[in-house]
A and B are shown apart, each in its own frame.
Chain A
Amino acid sequence: MSDGQQKKTIVVTRFDPDQDEAPREQSYEIPVQPGWKVLDALNFIKDEVDATLSHRWSCRMAVCGSCGMMVDGEPRLTCKDSLDQYGDTVRIAPLSNFPVIRDLVIETDGFMEKLSDVKPWIIRAKEKAVEEGPVRQSPAELEEFKQFSMCINCMLCYSACPVVANEPEFLGPAAIALGHRYSIDSRDEGAAERNEIFLGEGTVFSCSFANECSEVCPKHVDPAAAVNQAKFNAAIHWATRLVLPPPTKGDE
């Protein structure tokens, strides 16, 4: 390493559940290479400076959603952000609004449960027989939900959401966007079931339209749009239900 090499101070939030009462900060002054991402700095620290540092990462190209962290107070994908866009001191912390298992690793169990709560699969009243061919969908029908299918489950939206901060049981942007994605999929016939879910407590109507989820989403999913479209659909479903009760199983 040459003496003229650029250096940055990376301040990392550390937490060892076996030793620490509470998270603490630890600073590392490291040499940085041109073109490094924030994740490269963390990997350098782990490989060359402090092997005890724990953090999640995988694809290094912003498609897996593993490396989400708070960088200078903003939820970011560390594989995507260039280190050059930050100052000489960069603060890296685990995603806010999540329990911390260790260092920069958060507990995601609650998030996974929320995803499954919205029935994220195609629901058909009656499955089409294989010999009848595939269920066709036009490009225009695909465009209606395509952006909501781009979510990589990075949880940055949950980290930014002020409602999740104050109401941890809130279903949250990604889960609602996922459910809405299926409800507006032309192949799906389960919108009514999901609207019943969305009429429950801690779901779409807990959203106060802060729009922070859409601001931080690295894949431009615009979950705020999905959540508020889901509000509209759930409200229409509720009003329709007053006049037309849902069919019982025996009626089908």
Chain B
Amino acid sequence: MSPSTPGRTRTAPPRLPDKFPFEGRYRAYTLFDATGILYLMLGLLVLGSVWALGSGEAAWNHVQATYRSATYVIFHLIAIVAVVFVGVRFFSFFPKAQPPRIGPAKPPPEPVLLGMLYVAWIGVAGVLSIILAGGIF
């Protein structure tokens, strides 16, 4: 007599991790991912600025005046905090995301790699700030 083949056991559905999404370490992760909304809004603002730039001096001046309002200043201050948060968090993980070697070359030691990242970030941000403030060109 061949053995019976029992049907598949009924299972309880998977549960989400208890602390997801706002407790413990997940809070930082959720905030990190939520900054995507700010990046989207910043991107739309940049597109709007470029559109105004192509629409004539009056449109451009109107956009500049809008950006001086309290709402936009507060938004951009929040955005700066978010960008710094994203940068610091991403840079903290960046060294271990590097492959052990690229061809024959190994990545530099972690402190050197981190230093290079921060120097590049601050350097580029500084140059852009000077250009936007009219210091160059």
Contacts and interface: CB of A to CB of B under 8 A. Distances in A.
Nearest to A229: B99
A18 to B, nearest CB: 8
B16 interface: yes
Contact of B14 (A22, A98, A162, A224): A98
Contacts of B101: 144
A90 to B, nearest CB: 14
Given A162-B20, A162-B29, A210-B29, A224 B15 contact: no
B14 A97 contact: yes
Contacts of A233: 99
Nearest to B36: A208
Nearest to B10: A17
Interface in B92-127: 93, 96-102
Contact of A96 (B17, B23, B25, B97): B17
A211 B28 CA distance: 11
A100 interface: yes
Q: How large is the interface on A (under 10, 10 to 19, 20 to 34, 35 or more residues)?
A: 35 or more
B12 A15 contact: yes
B19 interface: yes
Contacts of B96: 222, 224-225, 228-229
Interface in A172-218: 184, 208-212, 215
Contacts of B23: 73
A246 interface: no
A62 interface: no
Nearest to B16: A165
Nearest to A75: B17
Given A73-B19, A165-B20, A209-B93, A232 B14 contact: no
Q: How large is the interface on B (under 10, 10 to 19, 20 to 34, 35 or more residues)?
A: 20 to 34
The SS class assigned to the B binding surface is: loop
B9 interface: yes
Contacts of A74: 18-19, 24
A101 B11 contact: yes
Contacts of A17: 9-12
B11 A99 contact: yes
B12 A100 contact: yes
Interface string A68-95: 0010011100000000000000000110
A107 B10 CA distance: 11
A167 to B, nearest CB: 12
A97 B16 contact: yes
Contacts of A144: 100-101
B12 A212 contact: no
Contacts of B29: 162, 208, 210-212
Interface in B10-56: 10-21, 23-26, 29, 33
Interface of A: 15, 17, 20, 22-23, 70, 73-75, 93-94, 96-102, 107, 144-145, 159-160, 162, 165, 168, 184, 208-212, 215, 222, 224-225, 228-229, 231-233, 236
11 contacts: A73-B23, A74-B18, A94-B15, A98-B14, A100-B14, A107-B11, A162-B17, A165-B20, A209-B90, A225-B97, A229-B96
